[in-house]
Structure 1
Amino acid sequence: MEEASSVETPEHAPTRPQERDNMEPFRVDVPDDVLNDLQTRLKLTRWTDDFANESWQYGTNTAYLKDLVSYWIASYDWREHERAINAYPQFRTEIDGVPIHFIHVRGNGPHPKPLILSHGWPWTFWEYHKVIGPLSDPGSHGGDPADAFDLVVPSLPGYGFSTPLRKPGVNFWRTSGLWVTLMERLGYPRFAAHGADWGALITADLGHRYPERVMGVHFPMTLPLDLFSGGVPAPEDYDADEAPLSARLQNFFATESAYSALQSTKPQTIAAALNDSPVGLASWILEKQRSWSDCNGDVETRFNKDDLLTTIMIYWITQSYGTSARYYYEAAHDPWAPVHDRVPVVEAPVGISVLPEEICCAPRRWAERYYNLKQRRYHSSGGHFAAWEEPQTIITDVRDFFRSLN
């Protein structure tokens, strides 16, 4: 990937002087030899045996994985997706020795609000591409121009094009501080925030650590900020009708969290394998895309093959799996600690979208204590990849929440 020396300024690209002083325009331009090498590796895959695994109970089903890889070899066109990514204004900067890549789209409306969107693992910044147009230019997407946002969509440190990361200790709560600096550099002393997965924790920490800097925070995943030091809602916090929430969370820890244990303890060990094998990387990520989405076991009811492979490709071409996995290690080994003991813990106004198949959704009673809760909406479909699975839900909830704070 190469930073461009000059790029044509798109219509809604940022133009403030402080941005030009600190930001380098960026375009994705993957060398042909990287793509040729990928083709060779895919064709030389040594497949593992698989049996009695039709329901993926042992992990990624090899028959489906072979079908996906066949499509990857014969039909997937990275250049098409590269062009789509490059249609948005992108930049790179460095903050405290940490490289940060981000999309920045200026809103088309009378008074756009600055909004930063934070992703998680195994996500990339690109999982937000379905909401960028409607949130930045609502008038062109059936909405009210008064709801327009200036959008900042970064890659988390060590993920995708926010690489190479060679500084240890960067975790979710340190990232919230990086985001404050990033938004300052963009001319936004106060801003709105939304996030999911790690992005939800980053966003909640912004509302705890920097409540004066955020007009409000919104997320579809609710878990305590001290999760990595043992914080979980107590059983008595769950009302009778919330038993499925408790069961889903317990089932996640019992059957879905081995990846987290590995990435929190020995991420470099598995990085050696997944940085070398694109099929291994695909297997590792694909299983989460299927297990955590509201797809009823058929991942392509939510994401087509191009969707799945573009996420995998961003990890592959940037060789960022290893540092993305270390994000878990850094959270576990330098756990979050509060900067105040006031209640609610997250003092900034909070909005929550509750999707039925989200794996991490805290009970009402706990949420009402923990957050300065201003909006909570329940939805009939959707899973862990909220903005990717249910973009219109997130667009509507985000618009309504931040409009209510005017």
Structure 2
Amino acid sequence: METFRIDVSDEVLVDLQTRLKRTRWVDDFANESWQYGTNTAYLQELVDYWIAGYDWRQHESAINAYPQFRTEIDGMPIHFVHVRGKGPHPKPLILSHGWPWTFWEYRKVIGPLSDPGAHGGNPADAFDLVVPSLPGYGFSTPLRKTGVNFWRTSELWVKLMERLGYSRFAAHGADWGALITADLGHRYPQRVTGVHFSMMLPLDLFSGGLPAPEDYDADEAPMAARLQNFFATESAYSALQSTKPQTIALALNDSPVGLAAWIVEKQRSWSDCNGDVETRFSKDDLLTTIMIYWVTQSCGTSARYYYEAAHHPWKPVHDRMPVVEAPVGISVLPEEVCSAPRRWAKRYYNLQQKRHHASGGHFTAWEEPQAIVTDIRDFFRLRS
């Protein structure tokens, strides 16, 4: 274990400014609703702020206020935040992010979960928090190994938590993090006190294992339509990153505006923002996520995470039902596209808690931090 601080060189920041100012903008028309993809006028506005108003050093300092570490597991660098809980018996909890997230998307829940007494809660609900960057993402780079996907990451997390002295622990995740967390509950039920997530997809997703039409009750028709619409209109990024990730990596690693277009469009489309991304993410929020990908040059290896999932499909370690045997808690946000029918969820998971919320989308801990904090506290309160 080595302590870690972010210290991006001035040279990288100067080069970024040069690239931004030399952008060759593409013509855009009849795209006010982003139906063709990222709206160029909005992106120009964001880039103008990136050039003249955004201060990376301010955000770098804010991240560095948290205790960060790096270690090597199975030949791979793993970066993580480790915040000790303030309470009588803090429980270890690992938080896993997804794409195009970073570990920093959990910033809003770190304080309330680790120090509930300072945030209107009960100190007895405190957690020791471990918030890693997925392998090949952000500061868990450079990744030089192939075959690293979500189910192999769950093995890395067990080793990471062992290294930190946690033989058993709690886990929460969203997006890829939800699949990592669910796999922990399937593959290592004896190592986790429970698993909690906000996205429901089968672990054999890349082998075609979606819920069947007959699993949906009549009142769940909108959910089925939303998932069908996602695969019809929102999944081109996944098809590309699952098949030819290096092709898009060459473009995004060279163009900060291209990288911004690739990421911001997803943050707008997948959040509960009603078409106005800045109701959920400020310009600084958007740019800090983009900057973490940019300064670490991790767009390529994060894209390969899809390829490795598609080409190294998940294989179960047992054929029992429920597939995820550890106790499961789920937060359901209305604009999360990857929700599953209740009948399927009760069969697939050892479901102990399921909470439905009135607002929020895919970026759960960022969009609805209080709801996620409450659900996590309630779910793990009696589990040890």
TM-score category, normalised to shorter length: over 0.9
Match of 2:66 among 88, 91, 96: 88
Partner amino acid for 1:226? D
Alpha-carbon distance between aligned partners in 2 of 1:289 and 1:377, rounded to the nearest angstrom? 23
Alpha-carbon distance between aligned partners in 1 of 2:320 and 2:361, rounded to the nearest angstrom? 32
Paired position in structure 1 for 2:140: 162
Alpha-carbon distance between aligned partners in 1 of 2:40 and 2:56, rounded to the nearest angstrom? 23
Unpaired runs of at least 5, structure 2? none
Alignment of 1:360-399 (within 5 A): 360-399=338-377
Alpha-carbon distance between aligned partners in 2 of 1:363 and 1:376, rounded to the nearest angstrom? 12
Paired position in structure 1 for 2:77: 99
Alpha-carbon distance between aligned partners in 1 of 2:365 and 2:381, rounded to the nearest angstrom? 19
Alpha-carbon distance between aligned partners in 1 of 2:232 and 2:361, rounded to the nearest angstrom? 19
Paired position in structure 2 for 1:246: 224
Match of 2:19 among 30, 36, 41: 41
Alpha-carbon distance between aligned partners in 2 of 1:248 and 1:98, rounded to the nearest angstrom? 37
Alpha-carbon distance between aligned partners in 1 of 2:83 and 2:241, rounded to the nearest angstrom? 33
Partner amino acid for 2:342? R
The alpha-carbon deviation at position 111 of structure 1 amounts to 0.3
1:204-227 superposed Cα distances (whole Å, 9 cap, x missing partner): 000000000000000000000000
Paired position in structure 2 for 1:304: 282
1:134-164 superposed Cα distances (whole Å, 9 cap, x missing partner): 0000000000000000000000000000000
Alpha-carbon distance between aligned partners in 2 of 1:98 and 1:244, rounded to the nearest angstrom? 42
Paired position in structure 1 for 2:204: 226
Paired position in structure 1 for 2:130: 152
Alpha-carbon distance between aligned partners in 2 of 1:197 and 1:362, rounded to the nearest angstrom? 14
The alpha-carbon deviation at position 263 of structure 1 amounts to 0.1
The alpha-carbon deviation at position 405 of structure 1 amounts to 2.6
Alpha-carbon distance between aligned partners in 1 of 2:219 and 2:53, rounded to the nearest angstrom? 47
1:5-52 superposed Cα distances (whole Å, 9 cap, x missing partner): xxxxxxxxxxxxxxxxxx010000000010000000000000000000
The yes-or-no answer on 1:138 pairing with 2:116 is yes
Q: Given the two structures, how large is their TM-score scaled by the length of structure 1?
A: 0.94
1:101-146 superposed Cα distances (whole Å, 9 cap, x missing partner): 0000000000000000000000000000000000000000000000
Alignment of 1:5-404 (within 5 A): 23-404=1-382
1:322-347 superposed Cα distances (whole Å, 9 cap, x missing partner): 00000000000000010001110000
Instruction: Tell me the secondary structure at the aligned position of residue 319 of structure 2.
Output: coil
Instruction: Tell me the secondary structure at the aligned position of residue 254 of structure 2.
Output: coil
Instruction: Tell me the secondary structure at the aligned position of residue 141 of structure 2.
Output: coil
Partner amino acid for 1:317? V
Alpha-carbon distance between aligned partners in 1 of 2:273 and 2:216, rounded to the nearest angstrom? 26
Alpha-carbon distance between aligned partners in 1 of 2:358 and 2:382, rounded to the nearest angstrom? 23
1:230-287 superposed Cα distances (whole Å, 9 cap, x missing partner): 0000011111111111001000000000000000000000100000000000000000
The alpha-carbon deviation at position 386 of structure 1 amounts to 0.1
The total of aligned residue pairs comes to 384
1:66-121 superposed Cα distances (whole Å, 9 cap, x missing partner): 00000000000000000000000000001001110000000000000000000000
1:283-333 superposed Cα distances (whole Å, 9 cap, x missing partner): 000000000000000000101000000000000000000000000000000
Instruction: Tell me the secondary structure at the aligned position of residue 404 of structure 1.
Output: coil
Alpha-carbon distance between aligned partners in 1 of 2:349 and 2:202, rounded to the nearest angstrom? 10
The alpha-carbon deviation at position 404 of structure 1 amounts to 3.4
Give runs of ≥4 in structure 1 deviating > 3 Å.
none
Q: Given the two structures, how large is their TM-score scaled by the length of structure 2?
A: 1.00
Partner amino acid for 1:293? S
Partner amino acid for 1:260? S
Which has the higher mean CA deviation after the structures are superposed, 148-157 or 396-405?
396-405
Partner amino acid for 2:306? Y
Fraction of identical pairs, as percent = 86
Alpha-carbon distance between aligned partners in 2 of 1:295 and 1:309, rounded to the nearest angstrom? 17
Alpha-carbon distance between aligned partners in 1 of 2:355 and 2:245, rounded to the nearest angstrom? 36
Unpaired runs of at least 5, structure 1? 1-22
